[in-house]
Amino acid sequence: MFAIKRALKLNNREATWMAKHAGFRRVVFNMGLSLRTQMYGEGEFSDSKVINEVKKVLTNYVKKQPECDWMNQLSSRVYQNALIDLKKAFARYREGKVGHPKFASRRDGQSFTVDSSNGKVLLAAGNTIKIPTLSTFRLEEPLECGF
């Protein structure tokens, strides 16, 4: 796997769009953690099955509520990756590597993950980058060559 790190040159609208996705990831992670602990406690259940049940509750009930209508305007890949992160957090907890997963805070680093879900993303040389399921954004520094 190959990764490059580049700063994005965002205007106000794009920065707001990114902040909404970061907040969406935090809300989904926290709702998933809350539902998981309320429904199953510390029981020894399969993490995959539990997260799938949490995903069903979030998709079929929570996202259909009028106060959560804003969730349907954002990328579903952020939603799916937040629940995958929650599953990985519980797997690390079960292995004894870390403590019990904690709720994500606004003060912690705001981030989210987006992937194409259908293979590789190739970058062309130039000043822009296409982030799957979001949009095309300008880069602070141009890419020297394509990847």
pLDDT in tens, 5-26: 778 888 899 888 888 888 989 9
**Average pLDDT over the chain, rounded to an integer:** 81
The sheet with strand 8-9 has its strands ordered as 8-9, 135-143, 126-131
| pLDDT band, very low/low/confident/very high, at 43 (cuts 50, 70, 90) | low
How many Å apart are CA 16 and CA 38, to the nearest integer? Answer: 32
Residue pair 102/120 in contact (Cβ under 8 Å)? The answer is no
Residue 78 contacts by C-beta under 8 Å, 6 or more apart in sequence? 21, 24, 25, 28, 112, 113, 114
Average pLDDT over residues 48-58: 83
pTM attached to this predicted model = 0.79
Looking at the chain, the whole-number percentage of residues with pLDDT higher than 70 is 88
